[in-house]
Amino acid sequence: MPGSSIANGSFMSPAPIFPRFAGLCRKGSTMLDILLLSLGLGAFALMVAYVAGCDRV
Amino acid sequence: MTLIGWAQIALVLILVVAAAVPLGRYIAAVASGRVTWLRPAEVLFFRAAGVDPERGQDWRGYALAMLAANAAGFVLLFAILRLQGMLPLNPQGFDGMSSWLAFNTAVSFVTNTNWQAYSGEAAVSYLSQMAGLAVQNFLSAASGIALALAVSRAFARGGVRELGNFWADFTRITLYVLLPLAVVVGLALVALGVPQTFAGYVTATTLEGAEQVIPLGPAAFQIAIKHLGTNGGGFFGVNSAHPFEGPSAVATAIQIWAQTVIPFALCLTFGRIVSDLRQGRALLVVMLGFVLAATAGIYAAEAAGNPLMTELGVDPAMGNMEGKEIRFGMPLVALFTATTTGASCGAVNAMLDSFTPLGGLVPLFLIQLGEVLPGGVGSGLYGMLVFVLLSVFVAGLMVGRTPEYLGKKVQAREIKLATLGVLVLPATILGLTAVSMVLPAAVSSIAAAGPHGLSEMLYAYTSAAGNNGSAFGGLTADTPWLNGTLAIAMLLWRFAFMVPVMAIAGSLAGKVKAPASAGTFPTHGPLFMGLLAGVILILGGLQFLPSLVLGPLAEHFAILAGKTF
């Protein structure tokens, strides 16, 4: 039931919210995959730095 | 509210506490390496991974190993979700998830949040469910429990740097605790009618002659770990309200039991590790008290019904049954909702968006209190221990003594780190909600007007930042803005809280335990339990009360004045 289904209470919407970045939001964008993977791994890298930071508190 | 309703609630909670006692003892034995009935499998994993389980790690080594395991899980899950269209076990032929949705989902399951901006039966292949989502259900839960064990050891040991070996704890918890429990609960759910099959969806003809697609899949065992690991991500879109995910009141009672038994048991594990069971019991009592109070709050609000519906001539005797399943009944909905939000599970067996404003306020506030009541598996215990340190600090300030807990002096370093940790939650929730409430791209995702709309947005960021994963509903969540910012909120609370907690553990492990004296503040009695509950409530109240006044409380008074949104 795509388009009207409730996921844990959330409605699905296929429409991109930022029209300017619509190209980035389409399915199969390798560049966006790389960006998002980098964002996720960057967050983990930040936490590694946070470990070093907390060690100095 | 009825007596029989309260009897149902009491029965389930008695079964939870009764099982938590032996389970707490068993997990303590697993943590010390004394449980060996799956030794060959354990050794196989250690050899394959090159892990020496006897080699201890200090807090930095332990935290970095945890981060490495979770980063690898994120990459693997992202890849599976993006590539599922090309992978096997996909009888419905689902395409890969969009990049934003795959990012959000991968972060969500790795952080034990299980926020879902998709509907499982409409977007996820069987392989993604089993090899992707279910695997992370186990591993994120094991990560949380491992950290709780490491923090517990910090209170038990003195003058050392080592807190255990993350890989050994991670493997043993998965093998000896989560897998066996998941098999037992999974089999019980199969017996109650939850499907566990690789067959594709069935098309049925209804009595009216219409065609209806009935989704199936390998659901039962994923649902088992979804509750046991306090993950909460539903196999089907409407989660435990789906007739195949929560087929009966007995099934929902089992799910409530499963999502609370490990968090409560870990309190008793903590008591055993620090060789003072009374300390673990005190934490359990505080957690249980909050669960009971929250259940009573939801039950009372929903049983009172909606005055606007009563004015329309609806019989108020049943209470507010909108969004609830008759087969569960009001008491089990109230208990399920209190435990799923208190325990950081996030599964739902009723639609929170349809609750009365006060009924919806309770689960929202429970998450905002820090997900420690009883909290997620592991994260609830180590989160509660941070509140314990803040409580003894407050008590120390009041009587002019250096605060101590279990013989460990709590000094400036620990309090600075604890403050760093607890500030992450309000900063993330309130900051991102505030930005989203003025950003047109985000506001367009809200379905309802007025204070109910604010509640929808506030709940989304509260749920994500608290690693709960339940949705208030009414929000179009699958947008780049919400997928991206909700993922950031999930990552922040999970890891930016874990790291200072581990630093506290490292600091405490290095301190020598001082013997108790006549001036030692007893931390197992009712006075301390009251202080702890007060600190949790006041911290949560101070941080979030203004937002609750603008959302659910404003809506409550508007309804009393005859307005709806």
Give B339-382 pLDDT, tens digit per residue: 999 999 999 999 999 999 999 999 999 999 999 999 999 999 99
Whether the CB of B296 is below 8 Å from some CB of chain A: the reply is no
Chain A residue numbers with beta carbons less than 8 Å from the beta carbon of B71 are 40-41, 44
pLDDT digits 0-9 by tens, B88-141: 999 999 999 999 999 999 999 999 999 999 999 999 999 999 999 999 999 999
Omega within 30 of 0 (cis) for the link into B247? no
Q: Is B127 helix (H, G, I), strand (E, B) or coil?
A: helix
Of B119, B239, B503, the CB nearest to A12: B119
- Is A14 a domain residue? yes
Give how many domains chain A has, as a whole number: 1
- Residue B427 is encoded by which pair of tokens? 């900063």
DSSP bridge pairs for B214: B202
Chain B residue numbers with beta carbons less than 8 Å from the beta carbon of A42 are none
Q: What is the pLDDT of residue B540?
A: 82
- Is A21 a domain residue? yes
Q: Look at residues B245, B230, B489 and name the one whose alpha carbon lies nearest to residue B374.
A: B230
Question: Which of B 319-358 lie inside 8 A of A, CB atoms?
Answer: 346, 348, 351-353
Q: Is the ipTM of this complex over 0.90?
A: yes
Record: contact B445-A17, CB cut-off 8 A: yes
Burial B148-183 (b: 16+ CB within 10 A, else e): bbbbbbbbbbeebebbbbbbbbbbbbbbbbbbebbe
Record: contact B74-A41, CB cut-off 8 A: yes
Please tell me the distance in Å from B525's CA to the nearest CA on chain A.
32
Q: A31 lies in which domain range?
A: 6-55
Q: What is the pLDDT of residue B508?
A: 97
- Report d(CA B366, CA B462) in Å as an integer: 10
Per-residue pLDDT, averaged over B303-327, amounts to 90
Whether the pLDDT of residue B529 is over 90: the answer is yes
- Is B195 a domain residue? no
- Is B331 a domain residue? no
Per-residue pLDDT, averaged over B255-261, amounts to 98
Better-scored residue on pLDDT, B1 or B150: B150
Q: What is the pLDDT of residue A28?
A: 53
- Is B432 a domain residue? yes
- Is B382 a domain residue? yes
Give how many domains chain B has, as a whole number: 1
Per-residue pLDDT, averaged over B505-532, amounts to 92
DSSP bridge pairs for B409: B404
For A5, name the nearest residue in chain B, comparing CA atoms only.
B119
- Report d(CA B126, CA B120) in Å as an integer: 10
pLDDT digits 0-9 by tens, A8-49: 434 344 344 445 555 544 555 788 999 999 999 999 999 999
Q: How many Cα atoms occupy the beta-carbon half-sphere of B282 within 13 Å?
A: 20
- Is A1 a domain residue? no
Record: contact A18-B480, CB cut-off 8 A: yes
For B240, name the nearest residue in chain A, comparing CA atoms only.
A8
Record: contact B353-A33, CB cut-off 8 A: no
Whether the CB of B126 is below 8 Å from some CB of chain A: the reply is no
- Is A35 a domain residue? yes
- Is B461 a domain residue? yes
Better-scored residue on pLDDT, B441 or A10: B441
Residue with tokens 């098309």, as numbered in its chain? B203
- Is A44 a domain residue? yes
Q: B393 lies in which domain range?
A: 371-560
